[in-house]
Structures are given as C-alpha cells and as structure tokens.
Amino acid sequence: DTEVTQTPKHLVMGMTNKKSLKCEQHMGHRAMYWYKQKAKKPPELMFVYSYEKLSINESVPSRFSPECPNSSLLNLHLHALQPEDSALYLCASSQEGTGRTDTQYFGPGTRLTVL
C-alpha cells in the first residue's frame, strides 16, 4: 500500500485567513515532504522532515509553517498568504530519513487558491 492522503482537496482562502493543510501516511515511512507546484511547472521542494525533525527548509517564507506531530502526520500551516501562493501543494513520504535517496510517494495534493 503506497497511499499518502491529503486534506482538503481544494481550499480557497483570503489573505488574512489562517488555514492548515494535512497529510497522512501509514506506510511506516520516516521522511515526509511538502512541495509546491505552479501550473505547467515541476514540483518545488519546500520542507523535509526526517524522523519527525525538520531537516530541509528551502528558504520558504515564514507565512508557511510546517509541523510534524508524529511520524504519520504532516501539517502545513498557512497565514497571511499572497495570491501568488496559489498552487497545488503536494505531500510525499519516503521510507528512510536523512542520508538516503529513497523513492518518494506523493499524495493527490491540495489545490490552494488565495484571493
């Protein structure tokens, strides 16, 4: 079973709202990722958690705040976003954490629109 789930599927928010994206995997994977994908572009890595600790932050603005409550869950808290943050947000997981290049399995994504 290589399933990563994400909620919600679609989200529309105003620039003053606070919202959260959720990601869950039950494959026992120890690394989880957030990606941002704009239309007609490849995914861009935002954050990586390895063994529940933040291991990579690709210089993402502080209006995006990741959280890994446990090894199966990954959240992305959103606050004071800009219209240019509208994109598809993808979550992924891989078997091992730091020091490995394991296959990343992706969720279906959350399509975010910021008004």
Give CA–CA dist 92/79, Å, rounded: 22
What is the pairing mode between strands 73-79 and 64-70? antiparallel
Rule CB under 8 A: is residue 25 a binding residue for other proteins?
no
Rule CB under 8 A: is residue 111 a binding residue for other proteins?
yes
Interface with other proteins in residues 52-91 (CB under 8 A): 55-56, 88, 90
Residue 85, φ and ψ in degrees, nearest 5: -80, -5
Q: How far is the CB of 39 from other proteins (least distance, A)?
A: 11
Interacting residues with other proteins (CB under 8 A): 2, 31, 33, 40-43, 45, 48, 50, 55-56, 88, 90, 92, 94, 97-101, 103-109, 111
